[in-house]
Amino acid sequence: MELVAFSEKRLALALSDYLRSIGIANHVEARAEGTVILLALAEDFARAQEEMKLFVGNPEDERYWQASWQSGQAQDEPVYAAAGPSAAAGWLARGGRVTRAVAALCVVLFIGLNVQPDAVFGALHYPPVLAETGVQWWRLLTPALMHAGLMHIAFNLLWWWEFGGLIERSQSGLRLLGVAVVIALVSNAAQGLQYGPHFLGLSGVIYGLLGYLWMYPLCNPAAGFRVRREIIGFMLGWLALGYTGLLDMIFGPISNTGHLSGLLAGMALGVLLGLVNRGEAARNIDGQD
């Protein structure tokens, strides 16, 4: 029996996870009108409908996110950790096609930089003069995909997988791609102004995705996702630590400009798109009454 349809997939999955956690069997199904929650038993409809109304009224309540966190947020029909795949398999499943494609491209370029550094960096570094004739457009983006050190690429891809995967699962691969490209353009431009062509790494985009995921659900509470406060605190603390110079001593030069500009660009996108998309889920519910 159909309970409700949501335009945002992650919103449907969050409610589905919660209903399962309180013993209401259901599954989700993609249809033209959105992601539909279907109940296994007709006798659960009245109770599920009451829970659905409470959910729409306050989707940010901790109980819903606890249920989603336990489910792994990885599949159309979420599986609880105790009955689902291994932790490693669940983590890998969190990355969609765009998330995986970008990660794979970063790995390929990482290998290339360590085999033929001059050739790869020479072909992909940021243009030293934007106003020069014949600027190759891909250079505005490709510095974000290059990494020189193993720790550098491992740290960045870990967070890319988490943040990018969350956006792709909850919204779409196209949304992730668009947000990431805009952030990369802003972050790379800021670094290009400060460092010229001598920078690389995805960390500016990572901070931008954090900013987007932080602001979007604040401006659109029906978003169906959020970043845990502990992660936001850690990432902001890491950003602040970068300005002390301690990280430069341990890891080498850190692009604080890239981190901060990426974060601000992502926050701006989160506010803009959150306000544009706000109310879609509520209007969808009203249309079914």
**Is 125 tagged catalytic?**
no
By C-alpha distance, which of 236, 223, 105 is closest to 170? Answer: 223
**Is 198 tagged catalytic?**
no
Strand order in the sheet with 2-6: 2-6, 34-39, 26-31
Q: Which of 16, 203, 255, 261 is catalytic?
A: 203
Between vectors from CA 73 to CA 69 and to CA 75, what angle results, nearest 5°? Answer: 150
Distance, CA of 207 to chain centre = 10
| Residues 62 and 70 sit within 8 Å (Cβ to Cβ) | no
Q: Which of 68, 152, 259, 261 is catalytic?
A: 259
Close Cβ partners of 106 (under 8 Å, ≥ 6 residues apart): 145, 146, 147, 153, 156, 157, 160, 202
* Whole-angstrom distance, CA of residue 273 vs CA of residue 164: 16
Instruction: Write out the catalytic residue numbers.
Output: 203, 259
